[in-house]
Structure formats: C-alpha cells, structure tokens
Amino acid sequence: MFNIVMIGFMGTGKTVVGRRLAALLKKRFIDTDTEIERITEKTIVQIFAQDGAVRFRSEESLLVKKLEDQDNLVISTGGGIVLNPENVVSLKKNGILIALNAPPEVIYQRVRHKRSRPLLNKGDALIKIKELFAEREYAYDVAEYRVETGDKQVDEVVQEIILYLK
Ligand code: S3P
C-alpha cells in the first residue's frame, strides 16, 4: 500500500491532518520533525542552534532515503523538505504527495505563540513568513493534490483528502 505524504509550509496543518488521516486509513503515522528529534536526541530548535541548518537538512534527507522502501505510511514532512529535489524523488517513489496551503496571515496566527520554528524566531515573524512563502511557493507544486486549509476545520481537510484518494 502506498504512502501519503503531507507537504506544505509551516503551520498549514500537515501534522494534525496527517495524524488523523493515518488513524482513519489505518496507516502508520510518521512526522519527519519528530522522527529527527528522536534520532538525534535533540529538539529541532537545538539542532538549528547547535549544528546549523545544513545538519538539519542532511538529517531530513537521510530520513527520507530511509523511508523510501517503506509503505503504508502517512508521512508529515517539515516545510523545507521539498526544497531538495532528491527528497521529492524519494518521497514520490511510494507516495502520493498532498500539499496543504494557507494564507500567510493564517499561518502567522497559528504559529505566533510557538517557539518551535527556528526559521521564524528572528525579527518580525509575519514578514519572514511572507518572504519565505514567496520564495518557496513553487516547491509545493510537486504535489498531486492541494488543499486550502486556512478556512477549514481539520476534519473537513481530512475528508477532502479521503475523497481525492477514492
Ligand atoms: C521548516 C519547517 C519546520 C521544521 C524546521 C524547518 C521549514 O517544520 O522542519 O523548523 O524549513 O519550513 P513544520 O513545517 O512542520 O513547521
């Protein structure tokens, strides 16, 4: 059975939607950020601060390679994973890519009180979100299907994905 891979910008709902989707479809759920924290025994914030973004990206790529031969998973990915085209090739081997999207203002409201996004911790978070969003929007077009989550409840997003998969 194929994997379902959630991609998209930070705060678009990949983890919460992915987890619920996995429970409904009886697939195993993997969140790449959580998995990297488990493997490295560090938080994402610690990896960025102590080892740098390059180390984090290399952990992401190692993990994606490892997941290449696994199936029946729902994989929620970090917002930067698809910036590396090799990761996209690996994720597409066994997986259907679903992109979640939301307007920058909604993303800001969702992530503003969380300290777990090192890329947004410096300066004005809304400006940073808009800049990063503009830079990266193209990368999420690799998905087979895209869902707008800004004005939807989690269950609506999940149902929309299930309908698409039928
Ligand atoms: C990142 C997104 C984060 C996490 C890391 C880098 C990014 O994951 O992987 O902070 O580059 O967009 P979420 O998309 O789950 O927030």
| DSSP-derived secondary structure letter, 136 | H
Q: Which atom of ligand 1 is nearest to the CA of 119?
A: 10
Domain layout of the chain by residue ranges: 3-157
Question: Which numeric CATH code is attached to 3-157?
Answer: 3.40.50.300
* ipTM field: 0.98
Confidence check: pLDDT of 115 > 90: no
Q: Identify the CA nearest to 105 among candidates 123, 122, 125.
A: 125
For the Cβ of 44 lying below 6 angstroms from any atom of ligand 1, the answer is yes
Q: Which helix (H) or strand (E) covers residue 161, if one does?
A: helix 154-165
Round the average pLDDT of the chain to a whole number and report it: 96
Return the residue matching tokens 């390679």: 65
How many angstroms is it from 80 CA to the middle of ligand 1?
6
> If you measure from the C-alpha of residue 56 to the centroid of ligand 1, how many angstroms do you get, rounded to a whole number?
10
Instruction: Indicate the residue type of 141.
Output: D
Ligand 1 atom closest to Cα of residue 83: 11
Q: Is 11 annotated as a binding residue?
A: yes
Rounded to an integer, what distance in angstroms lies between the CA atom of residue 105 and that of residue 111? 10
- Region 25-42: mean pLDDT is 98
Taking Cα atoms as reference points, which of 84, 82, 91, 128 lies closest to residue 107? 128
Euclidean distance between CA atoms 29 and 19, whole angstroms: 6
Q: Does the structure show a pLDDT above 90 at 139?
A: yes
Label residue 81 exposed, middle or buried (CB < 10 Å: 0-12, 13-18, 19+).
buried
Q: Indicate if ligand 1 lies below 6 Å from the C-beta of 10.
A: yes
What pLDDT digit, counting tens, does each position of 54-74 carry? 999 999 999 999 999 999 999
User: What percentage of the chain exceeds 90 in pLDDT?
Assistant: 92
State which H helix or E strand residue 4 sits in.
strand 3-8
Is residue 44 very low, low, confident or very high in pLDDT (cuts 50, 70, 90)? very high
What pLDDT score does 121 carry? 83
Instruction: Kindly give the distance from the C-alpha atom of residue 33 to the centroid of ligand 1, in angstroms, as a whole number.
Output: 7
